[in-house]
Structure 1
Amino acid sequence: MFLPFFPVVLGFRGLDAAEIGLVLGIGTIARIGASPVLSNLSDRTGQRRLSILIYALAAAALLLLYFLPFGLVFVSVAVIGFMVMNAPIVPLSDAYALDVQRNTGADYARMRLWGSAGFVVASIVGGTLASEDTSWLVVVAIVLSSFATGAVAMSLPRQKRGKEKQDSDAADAATPFRSVWFWPLLTVLGLYQASHSAFYGFGTIYWQAMSVPDFAIGLLWATGVVAEIALFTVAGKLSQRFDPAIFLLAAGVAASLRWLLFPFADTLPAMAALQTLHGLSFGAAHLGAVAILARIVPSQWAGTGQGLLATSVGIQMAIGLSISGALYEVNPDWPFYLMSIVAAVGTLATLVMTPMLRRKMG
């Protein structure tokens, strides 16, 4: 609800476009920085579920400041505070889910698909509420969702996280964070998601300029998420045959093809066909990146690893959006061609790094 509709909510609150951009821009920068810091704090305390509860409650409490009858400063504190405290929740949830997979053999992808399904449902509900008279209900729904997140986290069983009794110095030495090769890898993993920045920022605008009806645009977005869910449904079986590097390579090829052909899709069937590639370009990239980090980062520091991945994606996504915006002003097709090149670069880099990756994961 927050990503698609909160800019609309802020507009109904009386903020102009510049103020909305300023608040969300500062919040995005703060979120990028907060994710690895707060995730690392959770890893150091060893209280992953309790951390999710605390962060979720803090996010909800800060967002409630939105309802105070004050001006831009309080609204900014509410929104930026919410974005900061919400930042580590997904990385920590992924880290917990990976512990479950490690300890019980459960299928991470099948757990993750409910995030995609939830996004679809929340988008539909949020769309019905994002009007001037009911926009405040979007804020209430987000606050209630944060409370629910904390409650669900604490209802889950505690997970064993690898060799929890090992010496802390040895645990620190086992982390790849001080290794030179880890940071280029983190950059490449973020590159796959960053190749979607032109679409996230300008895909709807591009289709509107082609006179695609708003309802059809909604269906096109939904097609991508359904393809993503379909991949998550079968990814567990696929992972038994293919290692995470293959998932990344498949994602890179799909993304390169998707963005290269995007400007040429001038009919709804063609657009929908390209949208099905989202299952690979996003879904396979996400599964591959998460699985690689799960194998090379010790369980004790899994939250930090996932938080660093979120930061890598966030930084590169911000850069991609800025460049795409400038290119879109010159030629609307150019941002998508650039994203095709970005995906191709990520694919080539993965090919080069695959032997090293397999050694580290082995």
Structure 2
Amino acid sequence: MRSPGPIAYILLYVALYAAFGVSSPFWPKFFETRALPPQQIGLLLALAMLTRLVSGPLVAVLADLLGSLRLVLASCAGLAAAAAVALMQANWFSLLLPVALVQAAALAPTTSIADALSVSVAKPRIGGRRFEYGWIRGSASAAFILGTLTAGQLISPADLSPVIWMNAGLLIATAAAAALVPGPAAETALQHAPFPAPEMKALLRMRPFRSMILVSGLVYGSHAMHDAFAVIRWSDAGISNPIISFLWSEAVIAEVFVFFLVGPALVDRFGPRGAAGLAAAAGIVRWSVEGLTTSAFVLSMIQPLHGLTFALLHLACMRTMGNVIPRSVAATAQALYAFGSGVLTAALTILSGTLYASHAAAGFLVMAALCALALPLAWIGFNRQDQSLPAD
């Protein structure tokens, strides 16, 4: 059974990202209710991050090898749901750690495989209208917000079990939604095909793909200082919690707005390289201003730039992959894209701690410099379609 049009993709992304929304902000607190000390919580979360970095590309390669992205996605979602339920029965670090790592390994490839499925059909017209990746990714961001708000209303400091049940239920819904998604036309033909090793080698040699990985890593990674220390800095400057919440919400609302409305039009108008350059330029402005002021009014003016520094760049990257990456290595390409930015973001998060401790807000200027470095790289090497791989 298949659901026609973009509705199936929206259902898939809503279920998947709502599962993230109900759980991601609350896992540390859940582990605390299991009597884990901060050192063990930190170790568990760090090992889970490393597991995701390794598992994502490996499972994506397997998905391309099998030629059945939907089957692998559904299997990963089901395994992650089972691991979530198992966390309810684990009360010691020695049990929580392996179960949490299994869930991290299962969840790591889900977003990359989902993007590989959706981006591969972003160019055709579905139901007489052009299919836009931004529609489903915007739905995902909105679902994440709604999931977080819902979980916050249902949990209590002593009882976080609703996080487990909602996470597991939504992951099961994700597995079911994967069955509704119209897979790429090439998927059936690839089910018994050998792994396309020559295309894999060509993928890694592609200048536009390498440039995309580097530019996205620099711009996404530049968010590290903001994500780790913005709230601390704003609180120290006397900004109240309601205003901080408003500032943070502004960024997410702008992200959804760009995904749904202005982002696809900007990518159409300026092309992927122009959109990526605009995202990098927005990063220069955003981090420079954030490093120079803690005025709540000024911050409220620049927070919506998140719609450009994240959402617009992501749309540009997805358009590039839809243009130049063949379907036979689509999941692998998506995983390498996530891996590159993930590694650089992790490294810059560590660096941010050192920068903030020694230079305080001046560390944001380093993040602006990373975006300045990304700007010419985006224009020089981003999405040169004459270097694309042959279509499958």
The two structures share one fold, judged by TM-score above 0.5: yes
Equivalent of residue 272 in structure 1, options 282, 296, 300: 300
- 1:156 CA drift (Å): 2.0
Task: State the one-letter code of the partner of 1:294.
Answer: G
Residue number among 347, 351, 356 corresponding to 1:319 in the alignment: 347
Supply the AA of the counterpart residue of 2:368. S
Alpha-carbon deviation of 1:170? Answer: 10
Distance 1:328 1:287 in 2: 31
Moved more, 325-334 or 130-139: 130-139
**Alignment pair present for 1:257 and 2:285:** yes
The equivalent of 1:344 in structure 2 is 372
Is 1:135 the equivalent of 2:135?
no
Q: Deviations over 1:167-194 (max 9, x none)?
A: 9689543443341634454223222211
Equivalent residue number for residue 148 of structure 1: 173
Deviation at 1:69, TM superposition (A): 4.5
Provide the residue aligned with 2:44 in structure 1: 23
Moved more, 7-16 or 183-192: 183-192
Distance 1:183 1:238, change over 3 A: closer
Q: Does 1:179 align with 2:200?
A: no
Q: Residues 351 and 69 (structure 1 numbering): CA distance in 2 closer, same or farther, change over 3 Å?
A: closer
Distance (whole Å) between structure 2 residues aligned to residue 191 and residue 288 of structure 1: 15
Q: 2:139 aligns with which of 94, 114, 127?
A: 114
Asked if structure 1 preserves the Cα contact closer than 8 Å seen for 2:325 and 2:388, the reply is: no
Distance 2:223 2:101 in 1: 24
Once the two structures are TM-superposed, the CA of residue 129 in structure 1 deviates from its matched residue by 4.0
- Give the whole-Å Cα distance in 2 for the aligned partners of 1:163 and 1:58: 24
Name the CA shift for 1:11/1:64 in 2 (closer, same or farther; >3 Å): same
Question: Which deviates more from structure 2 when the two are superposed, residues 218-227 or residues 169-178?
Answer: 169-178
| Equivalent residue number for residue 32 of structure 1 | 53
Where 2:269 maps in the other structure, the secondary structure is: coil
Q: 1:69 to 1:20 in 2, by over 3 A?
A: closer
Q: Per-residue CA shift, 1:141-182, capped at 9, x if unaligned?
A: 111121111111112233313894799689543443341634
Find out whether 1:62 has 2:83 as its counterpart: yes
Task: Provide the C-alpha distance between the structure 2 equivalents of 1:57 and 1:326, rounded to a whole number of angstroms.
Answer: 39
Deviation at 1:115, TM superposition (A): 1.0
More displaced, 49-58 or 293-302?
293-302
Moved more, 38-47 or 212-221: 212-221
Comparing 84-93 with 207-216, greater Cα deviation is found at 207-216
Aligned ranges 1:142-221 → 2 under 5 Å? 142-161=167-186, 164=189, 171-175=196-200, 176-179=202-205, 181=207, 182-183=209-210, 185-221=212-248
Partners of 1:161 and 1:265 lie apart in 2 by 52
Q: Deviations over 1:171-221 (max 9, x none)?
A: 543443341634454223222211111111122222221222222222211
Where structure 1 has 5 or more consecutive residues not aligned to the other structure, the ranges are none
Offset from partner CA, 1:2-40 (integer Å, 9 cap, x none): 332211221222112111110000110110111111011
Q: Sequence identity of aligned pairs in percent?
A: 24
Aligned partners of 1:154 and 1:261: how far apart in 2? 46
Which whole-Å CA distance do the structure 2 matches of 1:171 and 1:41 have between them?
A: 12
Partner of 1:222: 249
Matched position secondary structure for 2:77: helix
Matching of residue 41 in structure 1 with residue 69 in structure 2: no
**Do the aligned residues in 2 keep the contact of 1:24 with 1:80 (CA within 8 Å)?**
no
Which sits farther off after the overlay, 169-178 or 190-199? 169-178
Give 1:130 shift: 4.8
Q: Which segment drifts farther, 113-122 or 330-339?
A: 330-339
Quote the residue 1:87 is aligned against: 108
Q: Displacement, 1:269?
A: 2.1
Partner of 1:240: 268
In 1: Cα distance, 2:297 partner to 2:388 partner: 41
Q: Which moved more, 1:322-331 or 1:230-239?
A: 230-239
Mapped to 2, the partners of 1:206 and 1:21 lie a distance apart of 22
Could you tell me which runs of 5 or more consecutive residues in structure 2 were left unpaired when the two chains were aligned: 1-21
Q: 1:35 to 1:219 in 2, by over 3 A?
A: same
Deviation at 1:310, TM superposition (A): 0.7
CA distance in 1, matches of 2:120, 2:173: 21
- DSSP 3-state at the match of 1:30: helix
Which of these residues, 50, 71, 89, is aligned with residue 92 of structure 2? Answer: 71
User: Could you tell me the TM-score, scaled by structure 1's length?
Assistant: 0.93
| Structure 1 vs Structure 2 CA RMSD | 2.3
Q: How many residues align?
A: 361
CA contact (8 A) 1:188 1:350 kept: yes
Q: CA deviation at 1:279?
A: 0.5
* Cα shift at 1:103: 3.6
For 2:205 and 2:90, the matched residues in 1 are separated by 50
What is the CA deviation profile of residues 112-140 of structure 1, one whole-angstrom value per residue up to 9, with x for unaligned ones? Answer: 10111011112212333453233121122
Shift of 1:271: 1.2
Asked if 1 retains the 8 angstrom alpha-carbon contact of 2:116 and 2:331, the reply is yes
| 1:231-286 deviation per Cα after TM superposition (whole angstroms, max 9, x unaligned) | 11223333332211111100000011100110333332211111010010111111
Of 319, 325, 341, the residue aligned with 1:291 is 319
CA distance in 2 between counterparts of 1:173 and 1:191 reads: 28
Separation in structure 1 between the aligned mates of residue 206 and residue 186 of structure 2, nearest angstrom:
25
1:317 & 1:129 partners in 2: Cα distance?
A: 32
* TM-score between both structures, scaled by the size of structure 2: 0.86
